[in-house]
A and B are shown apart, each in its own frame.
Chain A
Amino acid sequence: MSYARRALAVVWKDLAVERRSKETLNALVFFSLLLLFVFQFTLGADRERLAAVLPGVLWLGFVLSALLALGRTFLVEREHDCWEGLLLAPGDKSAIYLGKLLGNLLLMLLVEALVLGLFVVFFDIDLSRALPGLVVVVLLGTLGLAAVGTLFAAMTANVRARELLFPVLLLPVQVPVLLATVKATEALLLGEPLGAVAHWVKLLVAADAVYVVVSLLTFDVVLEG
């Protein structure tokens, strides 16, 4: 089976599993709704304060959902004793990484679109000018989170205190992505063009490149046992 076919096979399998159980998707949707309500309760009345914290709050929602989604990346393999199957898979195991990454990306982008949509509706945000730039920033930021998140999910899949260790390992490493996305989103929502945040975008591109390349190269090592 070719490399690309193997990667896509992983994506297809995960999507099929998800479509049947909808566990992760449900959890993420309800979690996002909860986030939305809590922010409305605390900040809804004060429009100015809301506008000021909105970028951070939005990405907080994205990141927390990401933690949930990414942490469950290898849940199916672990719970149904399929971990050895991964270890014994023939050929370049980084195809599995790519497949998992794509699956995570799709899931995360779906949830982010939903969250963003809810925020726009409930907080009455005008996205008309910001949207194209926002799409770029969200794509790059999500890729950064997912790239390292998938690798770390594999690393923490079989260790004790996995649910605690995964965010502890992931979040400090993701600080550049978090900073870049929040600051860029902030500028975009204030009406600035994408060019004004070019340095943040370049940082995100560089970060994404580093994360994906390193993860591809080291995933085989992680799946040795």
Chain B
Amino acid sequence: MVKTLGWLTALALVVGLLMAFVVAPREVTQGNVQRIMYVHVPLILASYVAFVVLAIASILYLVRRDPAADRLAHASGEVGVVFVGLGIATGSIWGKPTWGTWWTWDARLTSVAILFVMYLGYLLLRGTIDDPERAARYCAVLGIVAALDIPLVHFSVYWWRTLHQPPSLMKPGGFTGSASILWPLLVNLLGFVLLYAYFVARRVRLLRAEAEAVP
């Protein structure tokens, strides 16, 4: 089960990697730097999946008090934070040659940065509470508050950046719609979502085993 998932993931990622460099063309305006998008975008999108799963698992835990739901929330949060952090880093590496800067406070970057810090806080809360049952409860509450906050963050940041403000000068990374760019992107997206699932599956299994092992 988990092993099969692992092999499927590896396959998807390898194919995706090949496609990113062989199938995908050299982009017209940005040059080969655009190839970073084939890891950056899937990482971010996969992290969104992680946080949605975290929200659902948190609600499930509060309703059913099932430790499995709590383990899923924990694992999903962990992998999500890794992915979104990596996504921000790769985006920054892409941004330096294309935008000329490592960081800019545009709407999307700001929102993702806030997301990162929120879920880092989630992991921190987990880390500081010793009692397992209380940790599960508190983190579930935090997970729900964070999830409900996300649309509010999105709108406030978007309005902050677009209202009474000149639109940002460059719209890089825009989609040309050509198949040779779309397919590598999709394959890598699949690969990273599978990787998320694989990591979560292993992490959940590990959490379960750790909880069962008599200290």
Q: Which residues of A contact B (CB under 8 A)?
A: 148, 151, 155-156, 159-161, 165, 168-169, 172-173, 175-176, 179-180, 183, 199-200, 203, 206-207, 210-211, 214, 218, 221-222, 224-225
Given known pairs A148-B145, A155-B125, A172-B118, the reply for A183 and B152 (CB within 8 Å) is: no
Minimum distance in angstroms from A91 CB to a CB of chain B: 20
B128 contacts A176, CB within 8 Å?
no
Contacts of A200 in B (CB 8 A): 159
Complex interface: stretch among B66-74, B136-144, B190-198: B136-144
Residue pairs across A and B with Cβ atoms less than 8 A apart, 30 shown, are A151-B141, A155-B141, A156-B125, A159-B125, A159-B128, A165-B121, A165-B124, A169-B125, A172-B118, A173-B145, A173-B149, A175-B114, A175-B153, A175-B156, A176-B152, A176-B153, A176-B156, A179-B159, A199-B163, A203-B155, A203-B156, A203-B159, A210-B149, A214-B145, A218-B145, A221-B62, A222-B138, A222-B141, A224-B137, A225-B133
B137 contacts A172, CB within 8 Å?
no
Contact of A173 among B125, B128, B131, B146 (CB under 8 A): B146
B157 contacts A169, CB within 8 Å?
no
Contacts of B157 in A (CB 8 A): 175, 179
Contacts of B118 in A (CB 8 A): 172-173
Assembled-state Cα–Cα distance A148/B142 (Å): 10
B152 contacts A169, CB within 8 Å?
no
Main secondary structure, interface of B, reads: helix
Contact of B148 among A151, A156, A210 (CB under 8 A): A210
Contacts of A225 in B (CB 8 A): 131, 133-134, 137
Q: Which residues of B contact A (CB under 8 A)?
A: 62, 114, 117-118, 121, 124-125, 128-129, 131, 133-134, 137-138, 140-142, 144-146, 148-149, 152-153, 155-157, 159-160, 163
Assembled-state Cα–Cα distance A91/B152 (Å): 32
The 10 closest A-B pairs by CB, nearest first: A176-B156, A176-B152, A179-B156, A172-B118, A172-B117, A159-B128, A218-B141, A169-B121, A160-B128, A155-B138
Contacts of B137 in A (CB 8 A): 221-222, 224-225
Assembled-state Cα–Cα distance A160/B125 (Å): 9
B128 contacts A179, CB within 8 Å?
no
Contacts of B155 in A (CB 8 A): 176, 203
Given known pairs A179-B157, A180-B156, the reply for A172 and B141 (CB within 8 Å) is: no
A202, closest chain B residue (CB): B155
Minimum distance in angstroms from B54 CB to a CB of chain A: 15
Minimum distance in angstroms from A165 CB to a CB of chain B: 6
Contacts of A224 in B (CB 8 A): 137
Assembled-state Cα–Cα distance A159/B142 (Å): 14
A161 contacts B152, CB within 8 Å?
no
Contacts of B156 in A (CB 8 A): 175-176, 179-180, 203
B121 contacts A218, CB within 8 Å?
no
Minimum distance in angstroms from A44 CB to a CB of chain B: 27
A161 contacts B128, CB within 8 Å?
yes
Contacts of A155 in B (CB 8 A): 125, 138, 141-142
Assembled-state Cα–Cα distance A218/B118 (Å): 19
A176 contacts B149, CB within 8 Å?
yes
B140, closest chain A residue (CB): A221
Contacts of A172 in B (CB 8 A): 114, 117-118, 121
Assembled-state Cα–Cα distance A222/B144 (Å): 13
Minimum distance in angstroms from A194 CB to a CB of chain B: 16
Contacts of A199 in B (CB 8 A): 159, 163
Contacts of B117 in A (CB 8 A): 168, 172
B149, closest chain A residue (CB): A173
With most chain A CB atoms within 10 A of its CB, the pick from B62, B129, B131 is B129
A196, closest chain B residue (CB): B164
Assembled-state Cα–Cα distance A27/B21 (Å): 60
Given known pairs A176-B149, A179-B160, the reply for A218 and B124 (CB within 8 Å) is: no
Assembled-state Cα–Cα distance A155/B124 (Å): 13
Task: Knowing that A151-B141, A214-B145 touch, tell me 9 more A-B residue pairs with CB under 8 angstroms.
Answer: A151-B145, A155-B142, A159-B128, A173-B118, A183-B159, A211-B145, A218-B62, A218-B144, A224-B137
